[in-house]
């Protein structure tokens, strides 16, 4: 127990002793923690330090689990009423529970609280539930009382995604949405729960709906409201077609419809927004405007989950392939007729939000896996596998997709090879004229590349390029793969091909910046980076690449890559410059280049508002402490690679696979939950 | 049971775009609006309004008369999931149709439609 409050300390110690805990150690400040933890193994740390939540001490608590030797300790926090708003952040940092300061002086109330808390832990263990459930229950009690709906929903979504096999989390999430007043989303959760576990939760659902009668009021809803499609954008120049679309969408209840008569104006507006709920666009190519090929790919990169519908009069097979690759939910032929268009648009809206057909379920699963919506992905997978009419080859592909996103590339590869073989058997002479899908080959190529079979991977991807020559995603992947296998010329050719399709495509600009940095062309890298708004992903990939180089005994190449990034990053990207400097400092330290590392660390510390600043400060302190103690600071040679790290040996069960891959470290909500207000603070 | 077997014995391919045909109800020859969903060599999955009952037939006429008209029989008709009610199209259903001509085995809808630019058939 760490507390500077004498009364509270004695009350807690007394209570614990009376409950049969023989060994309670006491400290008066956070500084005492080192003394206590060095002497003995501690299971549970309780912190009650009123006023300790200033920036420095909160940082101490937040970085508690960054020190690996603390991973077996759990901490709970006693907070005064004024300090409670820190709780979401403390739980995101791994707190197991909280208790109000008011009760610690009342030994009866405290005893009752502790007994109740241990009861909830025991129940959790009996139900074979993760300790995150205990932490979530504790945090939820505060969030509901304080009516902090943003964080409450964030917490419940976290639980839903982290534990997809526990459908009751959906019920809790539905309740949170109802509390917030977002009945559509709440109802969607209830519907999802009914799909995942038919009838098992009917009683609880009924009780919930009785508590929130507004959740049942559906009568006034229009078709588009039912599927939460409010804001629709449409790019169509032809006045007659626009009028017809407007009529049809209004029949479906849409009121927010924005029409654009050029792709350039549409992109200008949409790229600066959070995106519409649905996009309808004509397939055309006009001078002085972006082409459909360019626009569709820019939109897909910017809004990966946005349902898109193509209005087509004439289309080449390769363009049709691209529409398919981009996950177009519907293609409608022009000239439009009202009734068929109404039906097609309604079907597209319904399928994009609540898919029931093979193709749309697949698209939704991929979107969910990409965005980390694990729970929905798992429930859709169940629905997909159960459909007898779906070809075995597609089921194998979807299974492979799950393994791919769980980084089990061996299993994904094996399933894909089987899927391709089965697809050939399924097609037979009757299906002549139907081309097999390229998605399996693209994914197989990525798996093989991850597994080190790089030559074959490049050849496979090259074969898909012929089928879908306008796909910039394939070209950028080819560019990167070719570079990796040392074919710089082919990599540059792929880049040139992609640039000839759309030199302003963000994904391409990022890949071009990446390639330019790798080949040392800082001028081109700078030019590309200046056009890209969000460079975080690029910096993350560069960091991983530099770590790989350093790990493979190419220390100077790795450092050159960092340096080249620093030379190319726009000067206003101070946060990212600090991050690169910090990472470079670590690389130097790991390779016993102390002076260079220290210089890079100082550069990182120049940017006091960067996200990395606190970490850099901590590192600086550790270095100073080690210098004062006359002991050189030790750095492990191998750096962590994050989620992208490859694992070749699949574990036995699917769920275990998911758990071991995504839910580390298993310390309450640490690594799972991210407080919404923290995100806001960081953005600010 | 027979109908069920008919529905399940072939792999369905996804189908979208515009079929170069029009559909008429076999009794009154009124036009029926459809949205294609999936296809097998001898069957079509369609959203249909107004939807026929299982056992009823409709005629598929090729707009360019490249093929003789084909009679299709509705083998299942189901309301779409909850919430999918289009204003003015309350009789819309998700239906399955099979070719019922004597020479049905010689007809391959996949091959007929896969050669058309306005139709997209996917594995």
Share of chain B above pLDDT 90, in %: 28
Contacts of A342 in chain B (CB under 8 A): 86, 88-89
**Is residue B101 included in any domain, yes or no?**
yes
Q: How far apart are the first and last CA of chain A?
A: 35
The helix/strand/coil state of A457 is: helix
CB A349 within 8 A of CB A223: yes
- Where is pLDDT greater, at A62 or A641? A62
For residue B115, the distance in angstroms to the closest alpha carbon of chain A comes to 7
Nearest CA-CA partner of A443 in A483, A497, A404, A471: A404
**Is residue B119 included in any domain, yes or no?**
no
pLDDT at A55 over 70: no
Q: What is the DSSP string of B30-91?
A: -EEEEEEEEEETTEEEEEEESPPPTT-EEEEEETT-SS--EEEEEEEEEPPSTT--BTTBTT
Report pLDDT digits (tens) over A227-236: 888 899 999 9
List Cβ neighbours of A17 (8 Å cut-off, separation of 6 or more): A24
CB–CB contact A391 B12 (8 Å): yes
Q: What is the rounded distance in angstroms from the CA atom of residue A418 to the CA atom of residue A406?
A: 19
Contacts of A251 in chain B (CB under 8 A): 87-88
Q: What is the mean pLDDT of residues A93-99?
A: 89
List Cβ neighbours of A391 (8 Å cut-off, separation of 6 or more): A422, A423, A426, B11, B12, B123
Structural domain containing residue B107 = 13-113
Interface confidence (ipTM) of the complex: 0.88
Q: What is the rounded distance in angstroms from the CA atom of residue A416 to the CA atom of residue A414?
A: 5
CB–CB contact B88 A433 (8 Å): no
Low-confidence ranges of chain B (pLDDT < 50): 1-8
**Is residue B118 included in any domain, yes or no?**
no
pLDDT at residue A637 in the model:
53
Report pLDDT digits (tens) over A159-188: 988 888 788 899 999 999 988 888 888 888
Q: How far apart, in Å, are the Cα atoms of B85 and each of A364, B51, B55? A: 22, 13, 24
Mean pLDDT of chain A: 84
> CB-CB: which of B7, B35, B123 is closest to A343?
B35
Tally of CA atoms within 13 A in the half-sphere of A90 that contains its CB: 30
Q: What is the mean pLDDT of residues A499-504?
A: 93
pLDDT at residue A643 in the model:
36
**Is residue B20 included in any domain, yes or no?**
yes
Report pLDDT digits (tens) over A573-612: 888 999 999 999 988 988 888 889 999 999 999 988 887 8
pLDDT at A123 over 90: no
CB–CB contact A333 B86 (8 Å): no
pLDDT at residue A7 in the model:
82
> CB-CB: which of B80, B89, B110 is closest to A342?
B89
Picking from A45-59, A245-259, A328-342, A656-670, which range would have the lowest pLDDT averaged per residue? A656-670
Give me B119's structure tokens.
């139709």
pLDDT at A417 over 70: yes
Exposure string of B31-59, with b = 16+ CB inside 10 Å and e = fewer, is ebbbbbbbbbbbbbbbbbbebbeeebebb
**Is residue B2 included in any domain, yes or no?**
no
Packing angle, helices A149-162 and A168-180, rounded to 10: 160
Contacts of A423 in chain B (CB under 8 A): 123
CB–CB contact B123 A434 (8 Å): yes
In sequence order, what are the beta bridge partners of B33? Answer: B49
B12 touches chain A (CB under 8 A): yes
**Is residue B85 included in any domain, yes or no?**
yes
Report pLDDT digits (tens) over A385-394: 888 888 899 9
Residue A335: is the preceding peptide bond cis (ω within 30°)? yes
Characterize the bridge pairing of strands B21-25 and A2-3.
unpaired
Q: What is the rounded distance in angstroms from the CA atom of residue A146 to the CA atom of residue B112?
A: 64
**Is residue B44 included in any domain, yes or no?**
yes
- Where is pLDDT greater, at A447 or A488? A447
**Is residue B18 included in any domain, yes or no?**
yes
pLDDT at residue A649 in the model:
30
> CB-CB: which of B17, B82, B122 is closest to A359?
B122
CATH number reported for the structural domain that contains residue B100 in this entry = 2.40.10.220
Q: Chains A and B: how many Cβ contacts under 8 Å? A: 109
pLDDT at residue B2 in the model:
41
CB–CB contact B86 A226 (8 Å): no
- The sign one gets for the Cα dihedral A113, A117, A118, A120 is positive
pLDDT at residue A445 in the model:
96
User: Structural domain tally of chain B?
Assistant: 1
């Amino acid at each position: 127990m760490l507390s500077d409050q004498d009364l509270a300390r004695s009350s807690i110690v007394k209570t614990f002793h009376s409950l049969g805990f023989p060994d309670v150690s006491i400290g008066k400040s956070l500084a005492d923690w080192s003394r206590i933890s060095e002497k003995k193994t501690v299971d549970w740390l309780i912190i009650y330090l009123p006023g300790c939540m200033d920036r420095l001490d909160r940082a101490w608590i937040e970085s508690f689990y960054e020190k690996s030797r603390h991973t077996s300790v759990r901490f709970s926090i006693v907070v005064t009423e004024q300090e409670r708003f820190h709780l979401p952040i403390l739980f995101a940092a791994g707190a197991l529970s909280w208790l109000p300061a008011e009760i610690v002086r009342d030994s009866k109330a405290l005893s009752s609280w502790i007994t109740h808390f241990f009861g909830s832990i025991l129940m959790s263990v009996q139900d074979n539930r993760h300790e995150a459930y205990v932490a979530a229950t504790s945090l939820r009690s505060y969030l509901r009382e304080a009516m902090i709906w943003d964080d409450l929903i964030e917490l419940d979504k976290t639980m839903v995604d982290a534990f997809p096999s526990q459908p009751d989390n959906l019920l809790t999430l539905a309740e949170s949405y109802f509390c917030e007043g977002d009945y559509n989303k709440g109802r969607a959760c209830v519907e999802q729960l009914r799909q995942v576990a038919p009838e098992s939760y009917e009683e609880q659902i009924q009780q919930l709906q009785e508590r929130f009668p507004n959740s049942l009021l559906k009568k006034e809803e229009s078709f588009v409201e039912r599927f939460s499609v409010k804001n629709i954008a449409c790019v169509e120049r032809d006045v007659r077609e626009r009028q017809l679309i407007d009529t049809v969408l209004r029949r479906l209840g849409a009121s927010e419809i924005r029409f654009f008569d050029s792709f350039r104006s549409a992109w200008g507006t949409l790229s600066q927004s959070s995106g519409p709920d649905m996009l309808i666009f004509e397939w055309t190519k006009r001078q002085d405007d972006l082409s459909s090929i360019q626009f569709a790919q820019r939109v897909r990169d910017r809004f990966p989950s946005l349902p898109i519908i193509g209005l087509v009069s004439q289309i080449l097979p390769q363009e049709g392939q691209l529409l398919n690759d981009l996950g177009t939910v519907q293609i409608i032929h022009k000239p439009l007729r009202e009734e068929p268009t109404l039906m097609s648009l309604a079907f597209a809206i319904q399928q994009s939000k609540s898919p029931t057909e093979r193709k749309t379920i697949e698209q939704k699963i991929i979107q969910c896996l990409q965005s980390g919506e694990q729970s929905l992905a798992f429930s859709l997978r169940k629905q997909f596998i159960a459909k007898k009419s779906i070809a075995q080859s597609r089921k194998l592909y979807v299974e492979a997709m799950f393994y791919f996103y769980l980084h089990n590339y061996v299993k994904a590869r094996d399933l894909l090879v089987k899927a391709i073989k089965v697809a050939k058997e399924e097609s037979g002479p009757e299906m002549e004229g139907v081309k097999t899908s390229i998605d399996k080959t693209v994914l197989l190529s990525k798996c093989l590349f991850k597994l080190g079979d790089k030559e074959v991977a490049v050849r496979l991807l090259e074969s898909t390029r012929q089928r879908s020559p306008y796909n910039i995603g394939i070209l950028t992947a080819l560019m990167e793969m070719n570079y990796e296998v040392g074919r710089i010329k082919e990599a540059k050719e792929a880049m040139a091909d992609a640039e000839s399709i759309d030199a302003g495509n963000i994904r391409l600009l990022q890949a071009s910046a990446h390639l330019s940095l790798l080949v040392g062309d800082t001028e081109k890298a700078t030019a590309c980076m200046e056009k890209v708004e969000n460079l975080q992903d690029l910096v993350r990939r560069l960091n991983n690449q530099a770590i790989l180089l350093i790990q493979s005994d190419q220390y100077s190449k790795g450092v050159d890559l960092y340096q080249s990034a620093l030379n190319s990053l726009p000067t206003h990207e101070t946060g990212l410059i600090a991050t690169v400097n910090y990472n470079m400092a670590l690389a130097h330290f790991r390779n016993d280049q102390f002076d260079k590392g220290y210089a890079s660390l100082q550069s990182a510390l120049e940017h006091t508002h960067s996200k990395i600043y606190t970490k850099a400060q901590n590192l600086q302190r550790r270095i100073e402490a080690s210098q004062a103690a006359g002991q050189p600071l030790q750095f492990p040679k191998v750096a962590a690679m994050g989620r992208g790290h490859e694992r070749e040996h699949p574990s036995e069960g699917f769920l275990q696979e998911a758990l071991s891959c995504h839910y580390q470290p298993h310390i309450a909500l640490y690594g799972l939950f991210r407080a919404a207000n923290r995100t806001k603070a960081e953005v600010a | 049971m027979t109908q069920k077997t008919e529905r399940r014995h072939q792999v369905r391919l996804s189908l979208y775009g515009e079929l170069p045909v029009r559909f008429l109800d076999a009794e009154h020859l009124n036009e029926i609006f459809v949205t294609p969903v999936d296809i097998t060599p001898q069957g079509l999955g369609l959203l249909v309004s107004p939807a026929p009952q299982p056992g009823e037939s409709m005629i598929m006429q090729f707009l360019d008369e490249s093929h003789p008209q084909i009679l299709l029989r509705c083998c299942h008709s189901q309301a779409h999931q909850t919430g999918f009610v289009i204003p003015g199209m309350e009789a819309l259903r998700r239906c399955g149709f099979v070719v019922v001509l004597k020479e049905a085995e010689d007809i391959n809808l996949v091959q007929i439609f896969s050669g058309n630019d306005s139709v997209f058939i996917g594995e």
